Chain A
């Protein structure tokens, strides 16, 4: 794919190396002279030196109809404008914007930027997940969040502990697909008895996930 990387320092350097490795065609626009020289020298790729917020600089880069633009400047408003110019003026299919204010993630998406990335926003989500979901560690969302795979560790206090699966009142659209017991994998049937420290891999619909967690844990989560 044809990609433009606008602005950025360390992030840009790392990203460019990554993209080139995957055989994408990359054009760089950067407003730091020394850094431009460094990038051209190390990565051997076309570099346009100048502020990517300026029309003349963007025109020089000849990026019309490119597939992706990634804006990495330190200022959120600059990145927003770069992405908007890329869309409107150069008809770039997908724009990716890095922001420092996590509140801008939703705002920028609403204003038409395809992908908005904030390190703070991502980390905050990970922390929230890590703290609220103590014993069940992972949730994997598949098929646009319709199918949820939940990993849940059975605690002694859970009502499902020491019971057979056929005795459980499992909600509709929920299935215990797999049990991991002391590093062995068990595909359960009705007579399988759940034990403390079993890790359950539960497939469910998004709607039923909370209900399932409540029932399995006895509301102790």
Chain B
């Protein structure tokens, strides 16, 4: 995220967040704080209600796996794509399109099913496992207590 020497000539970096659930919405907010031009895509317009107050980016309603919609959102020049919908298959498709077709340098994916790991291996996608983070947090808390 911060190894951006090759981006210094560019005024602002852009990030696309697909899926505006609790995770997507809050990531979008923190990306705005970090100075990214942030675009959030969700098929359900009411989902944008979850965006936090610090969100200052754009919202697009539509299918986040649609080629034309992603191009309209500027995936061709995006510095970061985060797929944060609740469906692994959608996230995988979005991330592979971003990384393998549009050559987006930084691609993050929310993944629920750890069995998918071998499928997306080798595509340079960085994976966020909500369940693993929860387990880690439990370990930390229970250790702290002991």
Q: Give chain A's interface residues, CB within 8 Å of chain B.
A: 53-55, 75-78, 80-81, 84-85, 88-89, 101, 103-104, 107, 110-111
Encode contact with A along B40-77: 1 for CB under 8 Å, 0 otherwise.
Answer: 00000000000000000000000101111000000000
Q: Is B38 an interface residue (CB 8 A)?
A: no
The reply to whether A81 and B97 contact each other, CB–CB distance below 8 Å, is no
Q: Which residues of chain B are near A53, meaning CB under 8 Å?
A: 89
Alpha-carbon distance A110/B68, docked complex (angstroms) = 16
CB-CB under 8 A for A77 and B68, given A88-B119, A111-B101: no
Shortest distance from the beta carbon of B110 to any chain A beta carbon, whole Å: 14
Across the interface, B87 reaches (CB within 8 A) one of A77, A88, A110, namely A77
A77 touches B89 (CB 8 A): yes
Q: With A80-B93, A103-B66, A103-B68 given, name 8 new contacts (CB 8 A).
A: A53-B89, A77-B65, A77-B93, A81-B88, A84-B119, A88-B119, A101-B63, A111-B101
Q: Do A81 and B101 contact each other (CB < 8 Å), given the known contacts A53-B89, A76-B65?
A: no
Residue numbers in B under 8 Å from A85 (CB-CB) = 119
Contact for B89 among A81, A88, A110, CB less than 8 A: A81
For this complex, 29 residue pairs linking A to B, each with C-beta atoms less than 8 Å apart, are: A53-B89, A54-B113, A54-B115, A55-B113, A55-B115, A75-B89, A77-B65, A77-B87, A77-B89, A77-B92, A77-B93, A78-B89, A80-B89, A80-B92, A81-B119, A88-B118, A88-B119, A89-B118, A89-B119, A103-B66, A103-B67, A103-B68, A104-B65, A104-B67, A107-B67, A107-B97, A110-B101, A111-B97, A111-B101
Q: Which 3 A-B pairs have the closest CB atoms?
A: A55-B115, A77-B89, A81-B89
CA–CA, A77 to B87, complex, Å?
9
- Which secondary structure characterizes the binding site on chain A? helix
Q: Give A83 to B87 CA distance when docked, in angstroms.
A: 17
Expressed in whole angstroms, the Cα–Cα distance for A81 and B119 within the complex equals 8
Which residue in chain A gives the minimum CB-CB distance to B65?
A77
Docked CA distance A107–B87 (Å): 19
By CB atoms of chain A within 10 A, which of B88, B101, B113, B115 has the most?
B115
Chain B residues, Cβ within 8 Å of A54: 113, 115
B61–chain A nearest beta-carbon distance, Å: 16
A111 engages B100 (CB within 8 Å): yes
Verify if B14 is at the interface (C-beta below 8 Å from A): no
Complex Cα distance, B118 from A42, in Å, reads: 36
A110 to chain B, nearest CB (A): 6
Residues of B within 8 Å of A81, CB to CB, are 88-89, 92-93, 116, 119
**A85 CB, min distance to chain B CBs, angstroms:** 6
Instruction: Give the docked Cα–Cα distance between A107 and B71 (Å).
Output: 13
Bound state CA distance, A88 and B90, in angstroms?
18
Bound together, the chains give a CA A78 to CA B119 distance in angstroms of 13
Question: In the complex, which residues of chain A have a beta carbon less than 8 angstroms from the beta carbon of B100?
Answer: 110-111
Q: With both chains docked as a complex, state the minimum distance between the C-beta of B141 and any C-beta of chain A, in angstroms.
A: 31
How distant is A57 from chain B, measured CB to nearest CB, in Å? Answer: 11
Give CA–CA (A89, B88) in the complex, Å: 17
The chain A residue with its CB closest to the CB of B114 is: A55
A77 to B88, CA, bound (A): 9
Q: Which residues of A contact B63 (CB under 8 A)?
A: 101
Query: Complex formed: what's the CA distance from A53 to B115 in Å?
Result: 11
Complex formed: what's the CA distance from A53 to B87 in Å? 11
Give the chain A neighbours of B65 by CB distance below 8 A.
76-77, 101, 104
